[in-house]
Structure 1
């Protein structure tokens, strides 16, 4: 059996979600999967991929436009292969302490493409972040890095364990 070729596509405004995508890709590779980690906006075709992991940073409870467009543009192809979704965003430890349900818009995307699972990871907001709201949050002292690499890696390993087998039951 050949190793699955997994696409990890992401939308990231300030780089934190892109780094989570790379962590996922690294963990999948360590488990024997072939992996491409790419910005969602640059993916034109899903031909050759046996599974997709799609993620976005959350801003005001919404995914970035590039991730939403990716899900819409590739909806038919995504419906025929296993898809896992992730969001990054909470600027506190909540995502590491308990399972957080997807935001309503993300839930609609998950349902529309029959996603296997969705996971929310903590976010990162550090000085120099783009956007007025980001700068306001930072000025209130509420920034920081709340991502948990061990949590991300464990989730990616669960994906690797199922990506090569029959499609798991959806969320």
Structure 2
């Protein structure tokens, strides 16, 4: 029995989408059927056995599409294995230690019964628009702090858990 896994993401400038594609690649390499989609495009979860949901963090909140996805699909998500990730810190802190989710994401994880949440480093570069983003870039605090090896390692662990559901029939 093949388990179908949805990797949904909320991304404004594309860097969290790139993290989601990396998660999807690792899951696919582990032999799982995977679909990576923008959270705003997903209408139905019935064809998925498990879900990974990720969102970019802005001022301690998930990007709008990730928040809406969690709210819109709360019933379906509570009946499936669910893993969460955030992308956010604009420094190397996410590579050095576990960063707990902000309160708003912690509430989502708790309400939906997520198995785990992980925070990966973020990316803010010249693609970013908006006053706050420009101020951050001008202050020299932008850059790419994503650790794709850590993302792949985490996703491989998710794949092992999904495979264990297959073995136990869950």
TMscore range, shorter length: over 0.9
Q: CA deviation at 1:127?
A: 1.3
Query: Gaps (5+ residues) in structure 1?
Result: none
> Residue 126 of structure 2 corresponds to which residue in structure 1?
127
Per mean C-alpha deviation after superposition, the further-off stretch among 85-94 and 129-138 is 129-138
Q: Counterparts of 1:14-163 in structure 2 under 5 Å? A: 14-163=13-162
Q: CA deviation at 1:105?
A: 0.1
Q: Counterparts of 1:1-12 in structure 2 under 5 Å? A: 2-12=1-11
Report the Cα distance in structure 1 between the residues aligned to 2:125 and 2:81, rounded to whole angstroms: 33
Q: CA deviation at 1:92?
A: 0.3
Report the Cα distance in structure 1 between the residues aligned to 2:112 and 2:53, rounded to whole angstroms: 11
Report the Cα distance in structure 1 between the residues aligned to 2:14 and 2:37, rounded to whole angstroms: 13
Q: Is the 8 A contact 1:12 1:18 kept in 2?
A: yes
Query: Gaps (5+ residues) in structure 2?
Result: none
State the aligned residue count: 166
SS of aligned partner of 2:164: coil
Q: Deviations over 1:21-76 (max 9, x none)?
A: 00000000000000000000000000111100000000001001111110111111
TM-score, length basis structure 1: 0.95
Runs (4+) of structure 1 moved beyond 4 Å? none
TM-score, length basis structure 2: 0.95
Report the Cα distance in structure 1 between the residues aligned to 2:4 and 2:72, rounded to whole angstroms: 20
Q: Which has the higher helix share?
A: 2
